[in-house]
Amino acid sequence: MQQQDVRFGKVAVLMGGKSGEREVSLMSGQGVLTALRARGVDAHAFDPAAQPMDELKRQGFDRCFIALHGRYGEDGTVQGALELLGIPYTGAGVMACSMAIDKVMTKRVWLAEGLPTPRYVLLHRGDFTREQVRAIPDDLGLPLIVKPVREGSSLGVTKVTGYSEMQQAVDAAAALDADILCEQFIAGDEVTCPVMGEGADARALPVIHIVAPEGNYDFQNKYYTDVTEYRVPCDLPAGEEAAIQALVLKAYRVLGCRGWGRLDVMIDAATRQPYLLEINTSPGMTSHSLVPMAAKAAGTDYETLCLQLLAGASLDYPPAPEARA
């Protein structure tokens, strides 16, 4: 019989939610739930789309493992609710999450800190003409990428190869978000690098080189096929992995992240310059997910990874000792 692990008390695994990534979140959450229970944690599934957040307090939960992705889970809203409830949670806090979910706000912070990220044009739904849309490739070149500012899992992302494709790509992104990001396309190697910890103690896990069919790392190839190749340990030239790890650590720290995160990077094939694309503050934990893959390459199995993340659950504003009594 599995020995009970009483260190963490009663744990809620938050999964599902209301975002476009609900299906992926349910897969992540089920994986985490199974892993925690296998290690003796008193863990329970909790779907914020099915019951109000204050039920966490009423049901006596001591901490939360956030396995939500996208809006209402990775954007600071759930984190804010948990701060008010006083229940420690995994991952980044309110401000870091609210910045990181916004790809343009993230770029602004990185650029202000001198960190490399592709050039971009920001559009606001209903506030541009067809002529302005059609002219964007004059600024960013072709091909280019169009995507919603606050979605993940490649939802609403289009690679535009010609002027005639611009309007359709912008419309697809605008259907998911009021803000549309048009971004310079970096041709080269696509890599991702998870980070764990906080501040000076944060550490980068091994870099994963993603090789997708025809370079198309979309929703289907991320979660439902086995045709994408993940090279870890990565096959980058000597010194490049360490340079990317140093870059993502700085990018993670300047946003004030804690707990864990995963940063996506493109390496220009001609110059070998890495460019930061975005950061995920509640990365996937499915069978195809990349953080567990990198952790395994570093010698940490899935169940141990889940326990480590849960052990790091915290609050932006922990109650004072007298307030706890």
Residues designated catalytic? 21, 153, 223, 262, 264, 278, 280, 284
Return left, alpha or beta for 117; rule: phi > 0 is left, psi -120 to 50 is alpha, else beta.
beta
- Using an 8 Å Cβ cutoff, are 256 and 199 in contact? no
DSSP letter, residue 180:
E
User: Residue 71 is inside which H or E element, if any?
Assistant: none
Copy the structure tokens of residue 78: 């759930």
Q: What is the spatial order of strands in the sheet that 158-160 belongs to?
A: 120-124, 179-184, 144-148, 158-160
Q: 3-class secondary structure for 243-256?
A: HHHHHHHHHHHHCC
How far is residue 276's CA from residue 236's CA, in Å, rounded to a whole number?
Answer: 17
Whether the bond between 233 and the residue before it is cis, its omega within 30 degrees of 0, is yes
Copy the structure tokens of residue 83: 């701060």
What is the rounded (10 degree) CA torsion for 117, 204, 311, 88? -10
Cα–Cα nearest to 297, from 246, 257, 245: 245
3-state SS class at 41? strand
Residues 15-32 as b or e (16 or more Cβ within 10 Å = b): bbbbbbbbebbbbbbbbb
Copy the structure tokens of residue 296: 């395994």
- DSSP-assigned beta bridge partners for residue 57: none
3-state helix, strand, coil in the chain (%, to 5): 35, 25, 40
Copy the structure tokens of residue 71: 């809006």
Residues in the chain: 325
